[in-house]
Structure 1
Amino acid sequence: MAGVLDNVNQRTQLVGQNRLELLLFRLSGQQLYGINVFKVKEVLQCPPLNAIPGRNRVVRGVAHIRGGTLSIMDMNLAIGRRPLENIEDCFVIITEYNRTAQGFLVRGVDRIVNMNWSDIHPPPKGAGKDHYLTAVTEVDGKLVEIVDVEKILAEAAPVSEEISAGTMQEGLSERVVEKHVLVVDDSSIARKQVQRVMESMGIRTTVKKDGREALDYLLGLVKDGKEPCQELVMVISDIEMPEMDGYTFTAEIRNHPALKDLYVLLHSSLSGVFNEAMVSKVGADKFLAKFNPDELVRRVSDRVLEMTGEDLLETEQD
């Protein structure tokens, strides 16, 4: 097990090629689950856990790891199943989502597989609204379910969606009343978070679930004789998505003459300096780590002011 993630930090050559690597794991049964290797910091045998009062029910306890304290969430509980038993025999997958580290308790870790995002598909439509899947795929003839970790975290450790007083500038939405923002994300939770921020700003949104669906939408605008750059304030896109990831989606935009001038903000829980470098490589305008509503408001506000020219404050003084 110690060698499973030895080369995780050396796998960056996959990015921009619409490829990913999944760490496969199991919970209470034989069903295989997957998580993007880029989200994984470490895998280890479950350490001793200390219970904490008032904790969320999915948090089995906290562990002291590498000089710090980390909450350990039972992945099986988090997706609506029974708690894992004999946790001393279980493993912990330590991940980094939305600027924070957390541990997920799993029964066992299988292996790492190299995949193409085109082989990763949205959950079946019959899965309902309350499922915890963000995508599914197949490995060696077996179904692999990719868990919507952002939904789990939103329920177990919700972040504030409040916008700080003074962050939004009055009169901003009037400047783009005929335009809208294209929001692209495979997580329903993440889509709703961005939508609520845009609604608070008075800006309309169009929502798509992955890069392929979003690209088809943009090409549809072109086919209908519309100019996407005139229709949209900007594109706010996740990076990890089935069918087509955000890096490939951005590259496709830059390679199309009618789309190449669209403003693209990559908005991802894949935080870190690495993603800042990838912004330049694929041609995105900015990168923003999820999820900080104030920072999102400022980025969108800056874009609106950039589009409309004169500074809003100067206009108000006149």
Structure 2
Amino acid sequence: MTTILDAVDLRTQLVGENRLELLIFRLHSAQLFAINVFKIREVVKQPHLHSLPGSHPSVCGVATIRRQSIPIIDLRQAIGVRATDENSETNLIITEYNRSVQGFLVGQVLNITNLTWQDIQPPPQHAGKNNYLTAITRVKRDNHERLVSIVDVEKVLAEIVSYNTEISDAVLDQTLVSQLYGQKVLIVDDSSTARAQIRDTLSQLGLEVIEATNGRQALELLKSWCGEGKDVYQEILMMFTDAEMPEMDGYRLTHEIRQDKRMNELFIALNTSLSGSFNQAMVEKVGCDRFISKFQPDLLVEVVQDRLRESLQSSEPR
């Protein structure tokens, strides 16, 4: 099964072109689910699991994969999918999110499909706030168009390993604290959990947060300000954006902003769960100012403080 991902390194060229590849799988039911290939290390048959007494109900044990002990999460149970085919094969998807490695037990792994982010849509509004999807799309399978649900893995992980938004005292620059109050920051992320993590961190400093759920929504907001004659640099101090989002990803969003003279100097920090070394290269390619791997409250605050210092220095009389 690992051969399905053998060419993943060659696929990095898709990122930055508003394209992605999804690994399609089932959860012991007819419904199709997906995860972005870039967050997957490998796919293997279900290995032997060692139990973890007292662990979260969705954690079904620990497996040793390539000499590394990895917690294994039953994805079907974690997102509340009812099994209709308990006898189907079981596979393990090894992923890397937010600087941690974990495995997800799934059913049949089907294929990888190449799409554009324009093909990816947000979940329907009637799905409610508690759904475990970041987006949906449609793919051709067996001569039929099938709906695919893209799992919000960050939400799944946040419910199993609670995140801490506490800011270390040593990080705070007391000379800036009072000036941070009331500053506005734009957060662009399709995961409600990821947005909440940043919002809960920055609100401790009195920062006001404006949220957008994808790159297109954010770009339309920024352009609307420009169209109304507003100064984008006065409206917000900076922007945090995810890399992967429906309709328009963070790379394309950054590219579009850099091409618009009305806002091309906006400070942009890429905040993503994708691998750091790869994203550092993409940051330089598309013109982001900083890269942050999720979720690091202290680093978020450091970036905001650095940006405020830069803003204050540029406004000083020469």
> Could you say whether these structures have the same fold, taking a TM-score greater than 0.5 normalized by the shorter chain as the test?
yes
Q: Which of 287, 293, 318 does residue 297 from structure 2 map onto?
A: 293
The unaligned stretches of length 5 or more in structure 1 are: 311-318
| Residues 138 and 147, structure 2, Cα contact 8 Å, conserved in 1 | yes
Letter in structure 1 aligned against 2:32: L
TM-score using structure 2 length = 0.94
Q: Which of 230, 234, 240 does residue 238 from structure 2 map onto?
A: 234
Paired position in structure 2 for 1:31: 31
Tell me the secondary structure at the aligned position of residue 174 of structure 2: coil
Tell me the secondary structure at the aligned position of residue 11 of structure 1: helix
Q: Which of 250, 253, 256 does residue 252 from structure 1 map onto?
A: 256
What is the CA deviation profile of residues 144-196 of structure 1, one whole-angstrom value per residue up to 9, with x for unaligned ones?
Answer: 00000000000012232211223222352543556410000000000011011
Q: Which of 272, 275, 278 does residue 271 from structure 1 map onto?
A: 275
Query: How many Å separate the matches in 1 of 2:260 and 2:241?
Result: 17
Query: How many Å separate the matches in 2 of 1:2 and 1:182?
Result: 39
| Residues 175 and 308, structure 1, Cα contact 8 Å, conserved in 2 | no
Query: How many Å separate the matches in 2 of 1:280 and 1:56?
Result: 40
Letter in structure 1 aligned against 2:173: Q
Cα distance, 1:263 vs structure 2: 0.3
Moved more, 257-266 or 159-168: 159-168
| Residues 168 and 201, structure 1, Cα contact 8 Å, conserved in 2 | no
Q: Which of 192, 195, 200 does residue 191 from structure 1 map onto?
A: 195
1:204 aligned onto 2:204:
no
Tell me the secondary structure at the aligned position of residue 275 of structure 1: helix
Letter in structure 1 aligned against 2:51: A
1:305 aligned onto 2:304:
no
Query: How many Å separate the matches in 1 of 2:210 and 2:67?
Result: 44
Cα distance, 1:83 vs structure 2: 7.3
Moved more, 48-57 or 78-87: 78-87
| Residues 88 and 108, structure 2, Cα contact 8 Å, conserved in 1 | no
Query: How many Å separate the matches in 1 of 2:263 and 2:182?
Result: 18
> What aligned pairs does 1:110-149 form with structure 2 within 5 A after superposition?
110-140=110-140, 141-149=145-153
Tell me the secondary structure at the aligned position of residue 291 of structure 1: coil
Letter in structure 1 aligned against 2:312: T
Letter in structure 2 aligned against 1:303: R
Paired position in structure 2 for 1:313: none
Query: How many Å separate the matches in 2 of 1:119 and 1:82?
Result: 27
What is the CA deviation profile of residues 198-236 of structure 1, one whole-angstrom value per residue up to 9, with x for unaligned ones?
Answer: 101111111000000000000010011101012211000
Paired position in structure 2 for 1:59: 59
| Residues 211 and 249, structure 1, Cα contact 8 Å, conserved in 2 | yes
| Residues 182 and 208, structure 1, Cα contact 8 Å, conserved in 2 | yes
What is the CA deviation profile of residues 43-91 of structure 1, one whole-angstrom value per residue up to 9, with x for unaligned ones?
Answer: 0001000101111100111001101100110010010235798799410
Tell me the secondary structure at the aligned position of residue 172 of structure 1: helix
Q: Give 4+ residue runs of structure 1 displaced > 4 Å after superposition.
A: 82-88
| Residues 273 and 294, structure 2, Cα contact 8 Å, conserved in 1 | yes
Q: Which of 126, 139, 156 does residue 152 from structure 1 map onto?
A: 156
| Residues 180 and 206, structure 2, Cα contact 8 Å, conserved in 1 | no
Letter in structure 2 aligned against 1:245: D
Change (3 A) 1:31 1:83: closer
Provide the alpha-carbon RMSD of the alignment: 1.7
Query: How many Å separate the matches in 1 of 2:230 and 2:95?
Result: 42
Letter in structure 1 aligned against 2:262: A
| Residues 123 and 134, structure 1, Cα contact 8 Å, conserved in 2 | yes
Query: How many Å separate the matches in 2 of 1:53 and 1:84?
Result: 28
Query: How many Å separate the matches in 1 of 2:88 and 2:301?
Result: 44
Query: How many Å separate the matches in 1 of 2:106 and 2:304?
Result: 39
Cα distance, 1:28 vs structure 2: 2.0
Paired position in structure 1 for 2:22: 22
Letter in structure 2 aligned against 1:282: V
Query: How many Å separate the matches in 2 of 1:82 and 1:58?
Result: 14
Tell me the secondary structure at the aligned position of residue 78 of structure 1: helix
Query: How many Å separate the matches in 1 of 2:242 and 2:2?
Result: 31
| Residues 253 and 259, structure 1, Cα contact 8 Å, conserved in 2 | yes
What is the CA deviation profile of residues 227-266 of structure 1, one whole-angstrom value per residue up to 9, with x for unaligned ones?
Answer: 1012211000011100000000000000001010100000
